[in-house]
Amino acid sequence: MSTIPANESTIEWKNWNAEIPATLMFVVQDGKILLIEKLTGIGQGKINGPGGKIDPGENALQAIVRECQEELHITPHSPVKMGELHFAMSDIPDIHCHVFMSNTFDGEPTSTREANPLWTALDAIPYDKMWEDDRHWLPQMLDGQLFNGRFEFDGEKVVWMEVCFGDSAKALWIENA
């Protein structure tokens, strides 16, 4: 488990519930990861994986497939859930995010109103242009580790975090979609 900083979180995590259920997808193929430049929504202007909010009546898997189709015109094959992220935010509603990986997909990654695709070498992921939490779980996820992360943000800065990896992380997931 990794935590920063040494101080306690101001969040009462036991009773914490996010307002926004969301998803992220990381497609990895031939030593590259398919990222996006996000053009709309939460995190506009940042580099991230494709993804977005879960619509009413959808589960996380259905949502991530739909978001990849909408944002990049691709359909990932057999997405595998790798982690859950819990974001307590200071200035926007709190977010609970399901993170998936896939190695194959149908379609050609295409720029849309919502995103520009960015095939990126695995050793050149631009963490400085991504949400600050990503550097604390994405490298381990790319090594095949399941994870569960809780992050408290002040604006765009992480002020507290706790990230677990492996089977003990999966036991903390709220949903096993």
Ligand X SMILES: COc1nc(N)nc2c1ncn2[C@H]1C[C@H](O)[C@@H](COP(=O)(O)OP(=O)(O)OP(=O)(O)O)O1
Contact present, 99 and 84 (Cβ < 8 Å):
yes
Cα–Cα distance for residue pair 55/22, rounded to 1 Å:
9
Cβ closest to ligand X, residue 30 vs residue 54: 54
DSSP state of 71: H
Q: Are 132 and 58 in contact (CB under 8 A)?
A: no
Interface positions with ligand X (CB under 6 A): 22-24, 40-43, 48, 51-53, 87, 95, 97, 131, 133-134, 153
List the one residue out of 40, 172, 19, 26 whose CA is nearest residue 89: 19
Tokens at residue 7, please? 């101080």
Residue 129 Cβ vs ligand X, minimum distance, rounded to whole Å:
12
Minimum CB separation of residue 62 from ligand X in Å reads: 13
Query: Which is nearer to ligand X, 44 or 107 (by Cβ)?
Result: 44
- Compute the least distance from the CB of residue 50 to ligand X, in Å: 7
The residue among 42 and 172 lying less far from ligand X, judged by its C-beta, is 42
Compute the distance between CA of residue 149 and CA of residue 30 in angstroms, rounded to an integer: 27
- Comparing every residue's Cβ against ligand X, the nearest one is 52
Report the residue number, 17 or 30, with the smaller CB distance to ligand X: 17
